[in-house]
Amino acid sequence: MILKIVSVGDPVLRKKARPLSAEEIRSAQIQELIGHMRDTMRDAPGVGLAAPQVGQSLQLAVIEDKADYHKNLNEADLKERERKPVPFHVIINPEIELLTPAEITFHEGCLSLPGFMAVVPRARKVSVRCLDEQGKFRTIEASGWYARILQHEIDHLNGRVYIDRMRSETFSTLENYQRQKQ
């Protein structure tokens, strides 16, 4: 089932989402939500989707950066962004630690703010402690684009969107961004 993605301005995107218990994580309701979020993210398409983006104020996000999404980028862009495929996974109740300063800049977009992009500084490396979709503890060490995705989705779980961190003078429509890249 494809869920409706809420847009910036919806109050759910500005609230700190509530954590989930291990029991809740294993419930049929949350397992079903994870499946619907995966389908919604892939349909959009996107590389991440946080529960608040589908109207659920829960500390839950799904992430996947398929190799298919890289086909419009050349080798130099992939290398510069340190972008590699990331298999589908779920992060629940994440705690993030920035391992480097938030000074690597690239354009970001967001499914809750369609049609726009801006340059956003992010840390190159992060460590995330979280639970997976079975409620098992895991630590993720990530760098490059994967670290950026984690920071973006965890921001959503804390009531923030990329426009809170962007370099405002770079805010642009997707159409203008693509025109300038040519």
Residue 86: what are its φ and ψ, rounded to 5°?
-125, 120
Token digits for 152?
A: 């973006």
Q: How far apart are CA 153 and CA 60, in angstroms?
A: 9
Confirm if 135 and 25 have CB atoms less than 8 A apart.
yes
Q: How far apart are CA 148 and CA 135, in angstroms?
A: 24
Contacts (Cβ under 8 Å, ≥6 apart) of 175: 115
Where in the sequence numbering do the catalytic residues fall? 153
Residue 151: what are its φ and ψ, rounded to 5°?
-60, -45
Outline where DSSP puts E strands in 17-65: 48-50, 60-65
DSSP state of 177: H
3-state DSSP call for residue 39?
helix
